[in-house]
A and B are shown apart, each in its own frame.
Chain A
Amino acid sequence: MLITGRTLDQGATVEEKLTEEYFKAVSYVELSEEDFNALNLQEGDRVKVKTDFGEVVVFAKKSNLPKGLAFIPMGPYANQVIDPATDGTGMPQYKGVKAVIEKTDENVKSVKELLEAI
């Protein structure tokens, strides 16, 4: 289950979206220690996050999340895979999407590359 949200670093760089700092602040996924280990990951490894709505390559990070939950900071990477349906409210479902996460050798795209690919 994938959720997205604000973080301090994302907020502090949100007015500098074309910088390296912003890239670092939003291009990762947090996983529970258990899931992280199960995927045989090292800090800095890349993973591909796949949902019914798209896929995106991001860096993997270990965190204190409960098993089965993953978190990507709000931003362009998260938006590749969230559920765009607003179910009549106008609000897409940014939190709570079923996702499959696997280790990958593919590169993490830059913010600009991400936009070009849409």
Chain B
Amino acid sequence: MEVNVVCTFCGSVCDDGIFDTEKFKTKRLCKLGSSKFSKKERIKSPMIDGKEVSYEEAIAKAAEILVNAKRPLLYGWASTVNEAIRLGIILTEKVRGVYDQCASVCHAPSILAVIEEGLPAGTLGSIKNRADVVVFWGCNPMEAHPRHGMRYSISAKGLLVKDRKERKVIVVDVRETRTARQADLFVQVKPGYDYLVFSALRAIISGNADVVPDEVGGVSKDKLIELADIMKNAKYGAILYGLGLTQSRGRDRNVENAIKLIQLLNRYTRWVILPMRGHYNVTGAGEVPAWECGYQYAIDFSRGYPRFYPNEFSAVEVLKRGDCDAALIIASDPVAHFPKEAVKKLKEIPVIQIDPFPNMTTLVANVVIPSAIYGLEAEGTAYRMDVIPIRVKKIIDTEYWSDEKILEELLKKVEELMG
């Protein structure tokens, strides 16, 4: 039987996929999406120190670890649904730990920039319908969000902008990516100099081109003026940016400066800016805590109320600073993705893992709790990169518990232990 599937891989959350339940195969999805829904090795059973146990036993042990810790870190959340994330916040509040999510090694600088300047954004649908100029800055959707261009940005067929021919595509990056090869204009920036390029563009657009040096961040002044002209003359433009801004020198300030450029451009015409978020629900991993406790990430509950200091409560910092004595890792793999100083701490403390798949974190986890795959075996709400809520579906049955159920039981157990 063929059914509609909502893809739970990247932040594009394509909702037009088709899944053949007999052949166990998808149609329409990209390489990343079809791999998501293909058969893979799973964690077979809950485990404590490598020994197979029941869900109940694993959860009891996990509760004990969390309750006994002075400051547990509860990290991950980007590849699970809002319902589970909400329980995660309540759990973190109960055990007075630290909540942090994958954005802290991804788009957290974007959140810091939004705190400084706000986010003048639009949904992907508004970009598809109206944007006659799209700038991909420090991102490479052809590899990270393969259907983005077709569905929303490069060649999407919109209401006012009918197709690729009516749209100008610009790529700004330090290297000529696959996306750059599709662009009408490619602007190559010296690594670490995006910040200065934004300042230069702002100066040119606001009439101070005379002070801008002949070359900024490896880009010639002529090219900057060309780019500024295209931007100012767009009817409706969009900057879509990625980790090229957030993970390199300048980080949050790069994004902040991009936002200031957008503010300026809106005095002349319409422009929006949107981060290209990675995991399918990394956006929810920030939105849910925002309404539950006021902040998006790096939240410490040790005093019984939430506090936000990313310099010390983001997971990498908590681990590097030796500021936690237990960790619950859900729906992510910090051992594969954190700098080695942080991984070292994870090897030293009790670690609980909740995930459908074995990964590098499994290798250091004391308690392993396998879970159902959202979008395939369990349903729930996720937010696309533009904060549009999309319900991901349950297509097939499974014996595995969902994150939501695991956390519900874990919360009950923790409440029991705490009296």
Contact = CB atoms under 8 A, between A and B. Distances in A.
Given A65-B175, A89-B112, A74 B337 contact: yes
A60 B161 CA distance: 43
Contacts of B316: 84, 86, 90-92
Nearest 8 A/B pairs, CB to CB: A90-B314, A84-B339, A90-B310, A95-B248, A94-B247, A12-B35, A17-B359, A88-B311
B10 A11 contact: yes
B10 A79 contact: no
A66 B252 CA distance: 26
B357 A16 contact: yes
**In the complex, which of the residues B247, B341, B344, B357 has the most CB atoms of chain A within 10 Å of its own CB atom?**
B247
A92 B105 contact: yes
Interface of A: 1, 3-8, 11-19, 53-54, 64-66, 69, 71, 74-76, 79-80, 82-84, 86-96, 111-112, 115, 118
A71 B176 CA distance: 12
A54 B105 contact: no
A74 B297 CA distance: 22
B259 interface: no
B408 to A, nearest CB: 24
Given A1-B191, A86-B311, A115-B335, A91 B109 contact: yes
Interface residues of B, number: 64
B363 A112 contact: yes
A93 B278 CA distance: 17
Contact of B243 (A83, A88, A95): A95
10 contacts: A18-B362, A79-B340, A90-B108, A90-B298, A91-B246, A91-B314, A93-B248, A94-B248, A95-B249, A115-B360
Main secondary structure of the interface of B (DSSP, over half): helix
Contacts of B357: 15-17
B143 interface: yes
Contacts of B175: 3, 64-66, 69, 71
B40 A118 contact: no
B104 A90 contact: yes
Given A7-B143, A118-B344, A12 B32 contact: yes
Contacts of A96: 191-192, 248-249
Nearest to B32: A11
A54 B174 contact: no
B44 interface: no
Contacts of B105: 91-92, 94
Nearest to A90: B314
B243 A5 contact: yes
Given A19-B41, A112-B363, A95 B311 contact: no
Interface in B166-205: 174-176, 188, 191-192
